[in-house]
A and B are shown apart, each in its own frame.
Chain A
Amino acid sequence: MSEKVTTDGESYRDLLDPTSLALRHQLGVLGLLVLGLLPFGVGPLMALKLTGALYFAVFAMSWDAVSGYTGQISFGHGLFFAVGGYTSALLNLNWGVEPALAVVVGMAMAAVAGVVVGVPALRLEGPYLSLVTLVAPLILLQIFIVFSDTFGGELGLSSPENLVTFESFETAITANYYLAFGLFLFVLVLLLAVTRSDAGSVFTAIREDEDAVAAAGLNPAKFKVFAFVLSAAVGGLAGAMFVHTPVGNPQPSQLLLLTVSIEVIIASVLGGMGTIVGPAVGGLFYYMFRDYLGSITWTVPLTDVPVSELDLLLFSLVTLALLFFLPGGFVRWTIRNGRRALRGGGPDGGRAVPDGGVESDAGTTPVERTLASFREALGDDASTEDDNEH
């Protein structure tokens, strides 16, 4: 691996001067600019959908912070999204709490949920942890159904007040969009900063080899809980703000169903697990593509079934193919191939980043690297792996 670690001074200078950035960073900045200007180019309906997509992308990034970096694969991240959303909506609907305050409480509750899930995570490994996280939102959903007087059961609650309201519908939509965009930017920068900091290196190290982290005198438990709480708080914040927009509602189908937890994983892995940027892109793409498929009115010949009814079927098939052929995700694939195309014998095309997420050789995606810890948890030694390769 020819990783070139830049000093802090260099990276800050790079950030201030766009022309000194690597091409992929320039493209990223350009992408953000386009996102920022989009509401002026598309109709209000599209802006509304994009608002939802932005919150979903934030949610996907929160999943990546814990699962992509520490390798603690959460199969039930919808739990945090729902705890944030429901707490905030209930406070607003039942006690008339101001949305802004309700959102903060919702985020705090989600952080508490993060502790509840994160602490067991210290005891469990690999697939066992994934099972517990898979089951957690199912239990919450059952509780919502049992106490449907309070939580609205499977139908959910009515819409709480919007976070920002304006006389004109279009202004309100634009304002909501920028609110979502602001959160998106904030979370993107925050999570990039955290995962590129020393703590982020420890997260990655935990994913690679937890015993080595402990042997180096660091406490992996502390970092794992920190990752869970950070991720839960961010996910809860996204959920809470999402329900206070015209697109989002406090309903299990939008916040809690198993499919929500799965969708966020699909989106993140599609974009590129363990990169933060990947899940952000993947989240936006996933939400808009699902929406696009759902809006096609063309009918499949012979069967008389409109494509809009097939959206989830088509999507799952497309996803299967993409995940199967591109397990490292879009972003990583694009960067690798883009760099290969650009590199006419020149040196390393871009700055290496400490997460190892960019300059990775084939066969070292985080997905594959988490493998080792899974094998260990299953009581298998490395021998199984060797056998299958030969």
Chain B
Amino acid sequence: MVDVLTTVINAVTISALYALVAIGFTLIFGVGGVLNLAHGAILTIGAFTAYYATSAMGLGIWTGALAALVVAGLFSAVLYLGMIRWIQDEPILVMILTLVSSIAIEQFFLVAVGTQPKAVPSLLQGQLSIAGSTVQTNQALTFVLSWLLIGALIVAVNYTQTGKAILATSMSTKGAALVGIESDRMYLYTWLLAGALAGVAGVFLASVRTASWTMGRGPLILSFSIVVIGGIGSIRGSVVGAYLIGFLEVFTVTYVDSSLSGLASLVVLVVVLLVRPEGLFGRELAEA
């Protein structure tokens, strides 16, 4: 039998990453009201930026991670400015176009990098010992950094001028407009932020596993489950959902059957949608 503590540590680490991905996804949905199906592909962009920065340009992995954050964030912002801004009133078209964009990005990496997965170095080397079981320092860092970012985000949204403006836009675009908030600029910030978070998550995911052209698909689909369970638009719900889904995934794969990977969370998603479509913390952001 696999050590339970090790499994829990794995689950906690991966959940921390899922939380980063899901928060970006839920922010865009909660504030802009659109589903960004290219979110997983943006994560892939982050991972490969770090890969190229470290392997081709010989930079350190920390610089690489920073580059990933910037590149993924900028790409997300460009996607919004170049495409989504013009069609954001047509949710179906947004879904279709972001999905096609993600296919284009995946295909780009398939052609540029090939099908062989690429290794990205760990951000911290070495191991720690927690309660008698060894933990990769990199995993511990993932967890800590994830919570730092989430904490910073919550503080930023609730206590800064811009953060409050974003919150106001998510609650009522009209009300926000009345007090002089430009909704388009708020949407842009959300896309930028979501892209940056996904980029960082991509670097960590690639350093824990590997970087490949399809690496964004799993996290994207898990994000659906996470944000639906947590309630679309709710940051708190996404964090809770990420840990629920993360634990469910890791425990199913470890103790039941590795071929069930992905299935459990999909079934949960369907059940939640049918039983309680608004999720656990539904409409925290989306409605006044």
Whether chain B is bound by chain A comes out as: yes
List residues of A whose CB falls within 8 A of some B CB: 73, 75, 120, 123-124, 126-128, 130-132, 134-136, 138-139, 142-143, 145-146, 259, 262, 265-266, 269, 305, 309-310, 312-313, 316-317, 319-320, 323-324, 327, 367-368, 370-371, 374-375, 378-380, 383-388
Q: Which of A128, A130, A146, A310 contacts B263 (CB 8 A)?
A: A146
Cβ contacts under 8 Å, A305 to chain B:
111
CB neighbours of A127 from chain B (8 A): 35, 91, 95
* Known contacts A130-B95, A143-B263; 16 further A-B pairs (Cβ under 8 A): A123-B274, A127-B35, A131-B269, A134-B224, A135-B269, A138-B262, A139-B270, A146-B259, A259-B103, A262-B100, A262-B103, A312-B107, A313-B104, A320-B97, A370-B92, A383-B174
Is B286 among interface residues, defined by CB-CB distance under 8 A? Answer: yes
Q: Which residues from 232 to 288 on chain B have a C-beta closer than 8 Å to any C-beta of chain A?
A: 257, 259-260, 262-263, 266-267, 269-270, 273-274, 277, 283, 286-287
- Interface hit among B66-74, B81-89, B201-209: B81-89
Task: Enumerate B199-229 residues with CB–CB distance to A below 8 Å.
Answer: 221, 224, 228
Q: How far is the CA of A384 from the CA of B88 in the complex (A)?
A: 11
Contacts of A385 in B (CB 8 A): 89
- List the B side residues contacting A387 at CB < 8 Å: 173-174, 177, 183
Q: Tally the A-B contacts, defined by beta carbons under 8 Å.
A: 137
Whether the Cβ atoms of A135 and B97 lie closer than 8 Å is no
The docked-state distance in angstroms from the alpha carbon of A387 to that of B33 is 14
Chain B residues within an 8 Å CB radius of A313: 104, 107-108, 110-111
Cβ of B134 to closest chain A Cβ, rounded Å:
32
A380-B174 Cα distance, complex, nearest whole Å? 11
Residues of chain A within 8 A (CB-CB) of B267 are 139
Instruction: Given the known inter-chain contacts A135-B224, A138-B266, A387-B174, please indicate yes or no for A371 contacting B91, CB distance below 8 A.
Output: yes
- In the complex, how many angstroms separate the beta carbon of A346 from the nearest chain B beta carbon? 33
State the Cβ distance, A77 to closest chain B Cβ, in Å: 13
Chain B residue at minimal CB-CB distance from A134: B224
Q: Determine if B99 and A142 form an interchain contact, defined as CB atoms under 8 angstroms apart.
A: no
Q: How far is the CB of A285 from chain B (nearest CB, A)?
A: 16
Are A383 and B99 CB-contacts (below 8 A) given A139-B263, A142-B262, A142-B266? no
Complex partner residue of A139 from B33, B86, B266, CB under 8 angstroms: B266
Q: Is A323 touching B107 in the complex (CB atoms < 8 A)? A: no
* Nearest chain B CB to A139 CB, angstrom units: 5
Nearest B residue (CB) for A71: B92
A138: chain B residues at CB < 8 Å are 221, 262, 266
A128 to B102 alpha-carbon distance, docked (Å): 20
User: B residues within 8 A CB of A383?
Assistant: 172-174
Contact (Cβ within 8 A) A266 B96:
yes
Per-position binary interface string of chain B over residues 104-129, scored 1 when its CB falls under 8 Å from any chain A CB and 0 otherwise: 10011011000000000000000000
- Checking B110, B173, B228, B283 against A384 with a beta-carbon cut-off of 8 angstroms, the contacting residue is B173
Could you say which residues of chain B place their CB within 8 Å of the CB of A367? 90, 92-93
Residues of A within 8 A of B91 (CB): 126-127, 371, 374-375, 378
Tell me whether A128 and B277 are in contact (CB under 8 A).
yes
Q: B228, A131: Cβ atoms under 8 Å?
A: yes
Residues of chain B lying within 8 A (CB to CB) of residue A371: 89-92
**B286–A379 CB distance below 8 A:** yes
Does B101 lie at the interface of the complex (its beta carbon under 8 Å from any beta carbon of A)?
A: yes
Highest count of chain A CB atoms <10 Å: which of B96, B257, B266, B273: B96
Q: Measured between alpha carbons, how far is A132 from B173 in the docked complex, in Å?
A: 28
Contacts of A380 in B (CB 8 A): 33, 173, 286
**Bound Cα distance from A312 to B93, whole angstroms:** 20
CB-CB < 8 A to B33: which residues of A?
A: 375, 378, 380, 384
CB pair B270–A135 under 8 Å, yes or no, is yes
